[in-house]
Amino acid sequence: MDMMIELLAKHGLMLVFLNVLLTQLAVPVPSTPTLILAGAFVAQGQIALVPLLAVAVAGSLLGDTPWYLAGRRYGYGVLRTLCRIAIEPGSCVKQTEDIFERWGPRSLVAAKYVPGFATIAPPLAGALRLAFPVFVLYSAIAALAWSALPIALGAIFHTEVERALAWLEDMGTGAAALIGAVVLVYVGIKTVKRYMLLRFLRMARIGAVELRGLMLQEDKPVVLDARSAAARRLDPRRIPGAIPVDIDAPEADFALIPPGRDLIVYCS
């Protein structure tokens, strides 16, 4: 902790830039604590506010741009890869697609405040062919608002930040152990939830060969395409005969399903 404070005091702008850059590149290094601490340094006159905001925005844009370009080049495959490694895989794809479908480029402004969306939004914007200048404009606004909040909190509550740092310093190695324990418990809970979800999906899933065999039968099942509209645009391929379903309002689509038939659902 002392080392971090010393580094921030000597190389505050560079440290903030690198921390934000790594966060936006999807490296699991939280930048909010650094921004709050930097805000406290602003209140003490050790760091200037405008350069601090500038490096935070620059780091965010430089971290988001490769993901945007990857989405533009490789399309939906980038989203699938990111969501496979996400700690919240169950809602990763659908949540991001729904938000972007509803708000368009404006959703980038709020992206950094939505868990999961912050990482997925840039490649999704690229995959949906959002113009690069528009992406940069909204991403810059988002980065400015996102970084300004913790900096402001650090500046307003700089006295409390100093007390917290003093308390952590008094704890010594116990502070690091406590923080590490909290992180491990959080990751452990999310890992168990992920395992249970994937186990359930494996139990309820059939393969392409088995589906093909069922489709060749006389009493073949009804296949429902539960992907979002954005997902269908990104990947127009579909299982022949599948019925598109709006997962948020499926009643009208369900009326097309013959009674007494097996149902097979697929999504992103």
- Domain co-membership, 9 together with 72: yes
Q: Strand order of the sheet with strand 222-225?
A: 243-244, 222-225, 263-266
The structural domain count of the chain equals 2
| Cα angle: 131, vertex 56, 69; to 5 degrees | 30
Give the pLDDT confidence score for residue 167 in this predicted structure: 61
Q: Does 59 have pLDDT greater than 90?
A: yes
Q: What are phi and psi of 263, to 5 degrees?
A: -115, 135
pLDDT digits (tens, 9 = 90+) for 152-177: 988 888 777 666 666 656 566 666 67
Q: Does 7 have pLDDT greater than 70?
A: no
Give the pLDDT confidence score for residue 203 in this predicted structure: 67
Q: Is residue 36 part of a domain?
A: yes
- Domain co-membership, 73 together with 25: yes
20-24, 78-82, 119-123: which has the minimum mean pLDDT?
A: 78-82
The closest alpha carbon to 61, from 35, 9, 25, belongs to: 25
- Domain co-membership, 235 together with 166: no
pLDDT digits (tens, 9 = 90+) for 98-135: 777 777 788 888 777 776 667 778 888 888 888 999 99
Which 3 state secondary structure label does DSSP give 223? strand
- Domain co-membership, 121 together with 221: no
pLDDT digits (tens, 9 = 90+) for 178-222: 767 777 886 777 677 767 766 766 667 788 888 888 888 888 888
- Domain co-membership, 100 together with 219: no
Q: Does 33 have pLDDT greater than 90?
A: no
88-92, 162-166, 232-236: which has the minimum mean pLDDT?
A: 88-92
32-43 vs 132-156: helix crossing angle, rounded to 10: 60
- Domain co-membership, 162 together with 237: no
- Domain co-membership, 259 together with 164: no
Helix, strand and coil percent figures for the chain, each rounded to 5: 70, 5, 25
Residue 31: which domain range? 2-171
- Domain co-membership, 109 together with 225: no
- Domain co-membership, 117 together with 6: yes
Q: Is residue 190 part of a domain?
A: no
- Structural domain ending residue among the three candidates 144, 171, 198: 171
CA dihedral 246, 123, 59, 118 (to 10 degrees): 20
- Confidence band for 87, pLDDT divided at 50, 70 and 90: very low
